[in-house]
Every structure is written in structure tokens, then in C-alpha cells.
Structure 1
Amino acid sequence: MKPLLLSLLLLIVPALPAAAQDWALGGFDAVAYARAGHPVPGRSDIVTMWKGKLWHFASEDNRARFEADPRAYAPGFNGLCPVSLSEGRREKGDPRHFIILDRKLYLLRSESAERQMRAAPKDVLSQAKRIWGKIR
């Protein structure tokens, strides 16, 4: 059943011009952040659907790891930038700017936000978590 669903998905996705909007992490491989240490583009033929988004992977192994425990690889705060949250704003993180803290991926809105996060990760996360608890 799963291969059939994947085959159908792969036939439908290229026909949808807005499909890229439904791509998690802009098409980057969520597992590769931790394994490679940098953003790695996923392949269009190695995908899975989770939480209404298409997640792309650079390898079958990475897809299997993600499918076994997607929450371990999905970005914190649903991909919102922790620096923005700590400042009281809901701003989407850019998958090219990230940090991994305590084995959790966080996306940052910009290079500047990435520098802020690296300079004071505990302070930023603490404040972001307080605000996140109020807006979820």
C-alpha cells in the first residue's frame, strides 16, 4: 500500500505548481542537518508526508530515520525563529540558517538571528519557550 501511495504522490506533485509551498524546510533534508551539519537538499523522489507537508530526503536511510521518529527531526517551534519569538513576533525560520541545541533543530530567520542565537542560546530559548507557551 505504501509504495502505491508514494507512486501516486510522485505523479501528482509535479502537476501542482504550488506544491513547493507545501514542502517542509524548503525541500531540505531534516535528518541531514544533524548528520551532515549543514542543509542538504532533499531529492524529489525520496519524500514522505507528515503534518500536511512533503518532507524531502537526500537518502532512503534519512527518510526511514525520519519516519521512525519525525518529532526528533522536525524543527522546534514548528519552524518559527526562536529569536523572533523571544522578541514577541511569529516569524518563519529560513532553513538555510539553523542551530542544533540538545539534538533539536531550530530555524533562524536570518544570518543576524543565527549570530544572536549562537551568542546567547539559553537566554533566547528560555524567552522563546515562554512566549511559545502563550501563543500555541
Structure 2
Amino acid sequence: MLIRRALFGLLLASPAAARSFAERGVAVRGTDVVAYFTEGRVVRGRAEHAAEWDGVRWLFASAANRDRFLADPAAHVPAYGGFCAWAVAQGYTAPTDPHAWRIVEGRLFLNYDASVQRRWERDIPGFIARADLNWPRLNQAG
């Protein structure tokens, strides 16, 4: 797990990892990604607590959440650039709904919608394994 986490962090830090799902340049539709981890729920970010990272604007509910994110972005960004985890497991990318989320082994995963998330939940470990294999190729396709 530590090796996968370290590899994930390296991928995020590299210029090749710049492919991400963002609408109008804003990540996760303006949702505070730190709040998924600290509050266990979807929390809307605010423009006054924004940060630019990896070519995308990230919004946070508080300055403390923004600072926590900037101290360790790899610990908070969604897997697969914020694209749908189930879709990446199938070999393509799709947008996501911030309300269709789950944290698994310290990683934030998003899905297209609640219906797709239910499908993904039938075999989370299997879909993560497939998506982890597919993501490097899909990440380069952007």
C-alpha cells in the first residue's frame, strides 16, 4: 500500500499528471476536498479560500482546509484526476458528481453519479486495481 501511495504521489507531482476533470477550471465542482476527509461529507468551497494547484482552481470552506491541502495535495486530491473511478476501471474517463464519493484506504474516489457508484461498490478492490492499471494510459491520452 505504501508503494502504491508513493507512486500515486509521484504521478500527481509530475507534469504528466496534469489531466484532471475540472469544469470551468474548478476542481470537483467547487467542493472542498479536504472536508471529505475531515468531516466525512460534501462541503461547498468558497472563492475566498481558493488555491491554484496543478493548473486547476480548488475551493475550500476555510483557510485552514486550503492550507492543509497545500501542505499535502496528494493526500487530498481525488484518484484518477477526479474522473469517475468506475469509468477509469472500464478504460475511459467520465465526469463526476461530488456527491458520489467514497474514501478507500486513504484515497478519495468519485463516480459519475449514485447509480454508477452502486455498480462500483459491487467490487471496489477489483475496480480500483483495474483503474490503477488503466490510469497511466488514460492520463497520457489527454
* Pairwise TM-score range, normalised by the shorter structure: 0.7 to 0.9
TM-score, length of structure 2 as denominator length: 0.77
The percent identity for this pair of structures is 32
Question: Partner of 2:93 in structure 1?
Answer: 90
Larger RCO: 1 or 2 (CA < 8 Å, sep 6+): 2
Question: Partner of 1:122 in structure 2?
Answer: 125
> Whole-Å Cα distance in 1 between the matches of residues 56 and 91 of structure 2?
26
Corresponding residue SS for 1:92: coil
> Whole-Å Cα distance in 1 between the matches of residues 30 and 136 of structure 2?
28
> Whole-Å Cα distance in 2 between the matches of residues 45 and 135 of structure 1?
33
Deviations 1:81-131 (CA, angstroms, capped at 9, x unpaired): 111112222112222211111111111001112112222110111111121
> Whole-Å Cα distance in 2 between the matches of residues 76 and 87 of structure 1?
15
Residues 11-30 of structure 1 correspond to what in structure 2 (within 5 A)?
21-30=24-33
Corresponding residue SS for 1:40: coil
Which aligned segments of 4 or more residues in structure 1 are displaced greater than 4 angstroms? none
Gaps of 5+ in 2: 1-22
Question: Partner of 2:105 in structure 1?
Answer: 102
User: Could you tell me which of 35, 38, 55 is aligned with 1:52?
Assistant: 55
Question: Partner of 2:18 in structure 1?
Answer: none
Question: Partner of 1:12 in structure 2?
Answer: none
Gaps of 5+ in 1: 1-19
Residues 66-77 of structure 1 correspond to what in structure 2 (within 5 A)?
66-77=69-80
TM-score, length of structure 1 as denominator length: 0.80
- The number of aligned residues is 117
> Whole-Å Cα distance in 1 between the matches of residues 37 and 73 of structure 2?
13
> Whole-Å Cα distance in 2 between the matches of residues 40 and 135 of structure 1?
29
Question: Partner of 2:84 in structure 1?
Answer: 81
Question: Partner of 2:64 in structure 1?
Answer: 61
C-alpha RMSD of the superposition: 1.3
